[in-house]
């Protein structure tokens, strides 16, 4: 009788363990799929992002704009990036476009040798 109870409890533990492993695997798969869909970065956003980064860096190197204006452009770029990751591509592209209001780079200062 004691042996039979011990065997049944071991069998129950094994079946519970298998069930838990199946549920955990399913949950991880669904989570990974959802994360993959949410973290896609639209091609249009990537193109605008690289152009905006270059513009901000060039203005910083030329020192032709105040630091607070460049900082604001950087924060706008981060908001655009977040919007794009959240699937709001139109809003992100509008934010990226607003950064181009910085205008062209006046000229790069000559660096001393």
What are the residue boundaries of the structural domains of the chain, listed by start? 1-39, 43-102
Q: Is the pLDDT of residue 110 over 60?
A: no
Q: Which residue has the higher pLDDT, 105 or 24?
A: 105
| pTM score | 0.61
Are residues 98 and 48 in contact, defined by beta-carbon separation less than 8 angstroms?
A: no
Average pLDDT over residues 73-87: 94
Q: What is the pLDDT of residue 113?
A: 46
Contact 61, 72 (CB under 8 A): no
């Amino acid at each position: 009788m004691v042996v039979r109870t011990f065997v049944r409890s071991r069998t129950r533990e094994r079946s519970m363990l298998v069930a838990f492993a199946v549920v955990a695997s399913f949950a991880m798969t669904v989570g990974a799929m959802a994360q993959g869909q949410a973290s896609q970065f639209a091609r249009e956003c990537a193109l605008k992002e690289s152009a905006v980064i270059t513009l901000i860096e060039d203005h910083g190197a030329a020192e032709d704009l105040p630091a607070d204006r460049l900082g604001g452009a950087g924060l706008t770029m981060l908001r655009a990036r977040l919007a794009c990751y959240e699937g709001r591509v139109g809003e992100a592209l509008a934010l990226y476009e607003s950064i181009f209001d910085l205008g062209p780079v006046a000229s790069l200062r000559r660096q001393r040798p």
